[in-house]
Amino acid sequence: MTEKEVLAEAYQTAKTAEIEQITEEIKADIDVLIEKIGSNKSLVSALVTSLVKKIVTPTQDIRLHRTDFENGYSARVLDTQVISPFFKDNFPKYANKESSFLTLATRERIKWTK
């Protein structure tokens, strides 16, 4: 399955999902993101980018979001080519102009670990 197919399928599933089927724990986790999306849209887009990459390539360590990390991948390219256009088409208010990986918090050469 391609990244675009993953997004399309997830979006269709979400549109038809019954809110009662979603656990309170998941609702609480999503609410944290939704409450802050206006001021943190790059972080939400980066999260979606990482999750889609993990679905398509389960063996990929998504903390290694840059190609200059050993065994890393280009999250910026994935975001620019797939995720940002998806957000522009479906959630234009929360879409980045080019890529969420151009913001200071996401472009730094640091691995995403605790």
Is 9 within a domain?
A: yes
Is 45 within a domain?
A: yes
pLDDT of residue 99: 81
Is 83 within a domain?
A: yes
Q: Measured between alpha carbons, how far is 27 from 11 in angstroms, rounded to an integer?
A: 17
> Cα angle vertex 65, ends 59, 92, to 5°?
110
Count of domains observed in the chain: 1
pLDDT of residue 22: 82
pLDDT of residue 59: 97
Range of the domain at 53: 3-107
pLDDT of residue 112: 67
- Asked whether the beta carbons of 37 and 91 are under 8 A apart, the reply is no
Is 64 within a domain?
A: yes
pLDDT of residue 103: 66
Q: Measured between alpha carbons, how far is 79 from 29 in angstroms, rounded to an integer?
A: 22
Is 37 within a domain?
A: yes
pLDDT of residue 77: 93
pLDDT of residue 104: 58
- Asked whether the beta carbons of 48 and 106 are under 8 A apart, the reply is no
> Cα angle vertex 19, ends 15, 25, to 5°?
120
Residue 79 DSSP label:
I
Is 102 within a domain?
A: yes
Is 112 within a domain?
A: no
The pLDDT averaged over each successive group of 10 residues in the chain (114 residues) is 95 85 86 84 89 97 92 93 94 85 65 66
pLDDT of residue 43: 84
